[in-house]
A and B are shown apart, each in its own frame.
Chain A
Amino acid sequence: MTEVAIAAAASARLRRRAVTTEPASVRTVLIAVAVVFLAFFLLLPLITVFVEAFRSGLGAYLAAIGEKDALAAIRLTLLVAAISVPANLIFGLAASWAIAKFEFKGKSFLTTLIDLPFSVSPVTSGLIYVLLFGAHGFFGPWLQSQGIQVIFAVPGIVLATIFVTFPFVARELIPLMQEQGTRDEEAALSLGATGFKAFFRVTLPNVKWALLYGVLLCNARAMGEFGAVSVVSGHIRGQTNTMPLQVEILYNEYNFGAAFAVASLLALLALVTLAVKTALEWQFGGSLAATGNRH
């Protein structure tokens, strides 16, 4: 055998070494399927939103967004997100802390409960709040006598949004915190840290990427939630309409340009969320790898 032949045989062996690699044809087909699927179901609609939004030109687009009711919807959406996301950040942290670090009765029940908002239809979630706080609901008469309106008002929208978006932070954190256990906290305490310092210097930094990711998802859903909010909001223009509701109203009025203009803002939010997440991963790739984060 010549040297060339030996080298060729050796390189053939090397190439064969990656036993999990499929033949080129299979790879091509799999990649093509994934790309076509993504293009058809994700990319195409996304492009359509922006194309439709700008169909009548930039002037019409800005006019549609600058319209009084649209601005009110944007303000309300931001307000709801500004309340529900921090609330869920705290609830989520507390719940995952409790589940991951302590042993107590009913723990698995609590874990199941946290997932409930994901398994219940958002419309049902909204209805629950109508039944609880509506005029004929459980707390309704008492609330009315106190002059507090929950349903068909901002508090109801916030409550429904918190309910629907509750699992995002907790679900990101629980597996990670469970995997990490309590060793690091014990180490921090043994080194003289108070519980407070151990939390902020050790526990929180250990989960910060998962937490941030959970918050991003939570925020995206809080701004985009339709079903539950639709039930409790009452669709009062300029008052209880969030952006998704505003889109629907405009669409039902055959005002497609304006509907797509507002919708494009929501689509933009999704893109920004994605970009921020990618940027964070790129920026902190090293320490992400160091912390063993899965995202």
Chain B
Amino acid sequence: MTAEITALRPVDNEDADRGAAPLATWGVPIDVAVEDVSRRFQDTPALEGVSLTVAAGELVALLGPSGSGKTTLLRILAGLDFPDSGRVLFGGEDALSMPVQKRHIGFVFQQYALFRHMNVYNNVAFGLAVQPFRKRPSRRRIRGRVADLLSLVQLEGYEKRYPSQLSGGQRQRIALARALAAEPRLLLLDEPFGALDAKVRKDLRRWLRELHDRTGHTTVFVTHDQEEALELSDRVVVMREGRIEQIGTPDSIYDEPASPFVAGFIGEANMLPVTVQDGRIYLDDRPLELFPTGFPEGKATLVFRPHDSVLAPTTGGTIAARVIAERRHGATRRLETEVGIARHRVEIDVPVGAERPAGGRITLKPTRWRLFPGHPEG
């Protein structure tokens, strides 16, 4: 999987001599802008006022639970669906007036959508073979290009196989090779690893990242797997119910979530209903040694991650908790606890050998935490 990725031979050298239409703009990554895009399906809004920019060569993840509109947005970028309002710009040009064929995108479908009646060679060559006669590369060029792409995806010698004779991971890579064949300006992937088992996912993920670094395509991919989004992308777009919750680098999304939803969806997070008063945070009328700055008084949600808290001595200002279960969690031990009168569930990670008082009563203190207005939902 991690073998050296060969450089791609450009399609157009030889064919430029034939007086063919210039292919120079192909494969050159473009920047993409989505401006205030909305889309409704019957009565259900799928996208509501979504705006987003993707820089040329950037790798962006659209992350969200199912029904968040991420696939709809991807299909609108591809030209397979159209918004009710808003604009989509490719390199500053209006993309909505271009049909899907003219957008020069490469789309990798969730179930790959390989042409089952064609062998691997014809699948990969399809994007070149269907070009209008004047633009179409010669047979020899196509053969060379397919060979390059198959070596790029490390499936040399598979030309004669049919999709039904390939494993899931191999199909995925052929789908990618097919999408790259016509040198797309923008690569779109819909749940690219969704149908694969965990081990293959991990390998392919790393491989795709390397491929992107090599080829430099502007890439947008859809996923519901936060780990995938964080590991693979330059920036993550977190979506929820047709709106964008937050856009940011993996670090900022993880460390500075803009809402309790983002905190809970990206990684794990504890959420406690608290009250802010006199510059202090109160949990069930007990003040905590946590001091928010410039936060409006009233109901708030205290958010912290299991690994961002420590066992603290039983002095004032800590959170009293009762351990109800514990289990091994990688290198640490995960304690499931109940906190406060309403028995809020809080999980913390402690070192495996950490000493703690008998009887299951502990006190803990968040080391990194965030505060959001209003009490947690549900």
Chain A interface (Cβ < 8 Å from any Cβ of B): 183-184, 186-194, 197, 201-202, 205-206, 208, 287, 289-292
Contact = CB atoms under 8 A, between A and B. Distances in A.
By secondary structure, the A interface counts as helix
Contacts of A287: 117, 162
Contact of B117 (A191, A194, A205): A205
A156 to B, nearest CB: 40
Contacts of A194: 101, 130
Given A189-B101, A190-B106, A292-B116, A201 B130 contact: yes
Contacts of B79: 190
A185 to B, nearest CB: 9
B115 A202 contact: yes
Given A184-B115, A206-B117, A290-B116, A191 B164 contact: no
B113 A192 contact: no
Nearest to B99: A189
Contacts of B105: 190
B11 interface: no
A205 B123 CA distance: 13
Contact of B109 (A183, A289, A290): A183
Contacts of B185: none
A259 B118 CA distance: 48
Interface string B95-112: 000001100111101010
B179 interface: yes
A9 to B, nearest CB: 36
Nearest to B175: A187
A291 B116 CA distance: 6
Given A194-B101, A290-B117, 4 more contacts: A190-B105, A191-B130, A197-B130, A205-B118
Contacts of B39: none
Nearest to A201: B130
A187 B130 contact: no
> Which of A186, A194, A208, A292: most chain B CB closer than 10 A?
A186
A170 to B, nearest CB: 21
B182 interface: yes
B346 interface: no
29 contacts: A183-B111, A183-B113, A184-B115, A186-B80, A186-B113, A187-B109, A187-B114, A188-B115, A189-B100, A190-B78, A190-B80, A190-B100, A190-B105, A191-B126, A191-B130, A191-B181, A192-B101, A192-B104, A192-B127, A192-B130, A192-B131, A193-B126, A194-B130, A201-B126, A205-B115, A205-B118, A206-B116, A290-B165, A292-B116
Interface of B: 78-80, 100-101, 104-107, 109, 111, 113-118, 126-127, 130-131, 162-165, 178-179, 181-182
A292 B100 CA distance: 29
A51 to B, nearest CB: 44
Residue of B114, B164, B179, B181 with most chain A CB atoms under a 10 A cut-off:
B164
B116 A191 contact: no
Contacts of B106: 190-191
A205 B117 CA distance: 7
A201 B179 CA distance: 17
Q: Closest 8 A-B residue pairs measured CB to CB?
A: A191-B127, A187-B113, A190-B107, A193-B130, A183-B113, A205-B117, A290-B162, A189-B100
Contact of B164 (A192, A197, A289): A289
Contacts of B162: 287, 290
Given A192-B104, A193-B126, A187 B164 contact: no
B10 to A, nearest CB: 17
B107 A187 contact: yes
Contacts of A202: 115
Nearest to B181: A191
B170 to A, nearest CB: 15
A186 B101 contact: no
B101 A193 contact: yes
A201 B118 CA distance: 10
Contacts of A208: 117
Q: Select the residue from A191, A193, A289, A291 with max chain B CB neighbours within 10 A.
A: A191
Nearest to A209: B117
A192 to B, nearest CB: 5
Contacts of A190: 78-80, 100, 105-107, 179
A201 B181 CA distance: 17
A188 B116 contact: no
A80 B322 CA distance: 87
Contact of A184 (B80, B113, B127, B164): B113
Nearest to B102: A192
Contacts of B101: 189, 192-194
Contacts of A188: 115, 126, 130
Nearest to B111: A183
Nearest to B126: A191
Contacts of B100: 186, 189-190
B179 A191 contact: yes
A191 B178 contact: yes
A290 B130 CA distance: 23
Contacts of A186: 80, 100, 107, 109, 113
Contacts of A183: 109, 111, 113
A254 B334 CA distance: 95
A289 B164 CA distance: 9
Contacts of A289: 164
A205 B115 CA distance: 9
Contacts of A191: 106, 126-127, 130, 178-179, 181-182
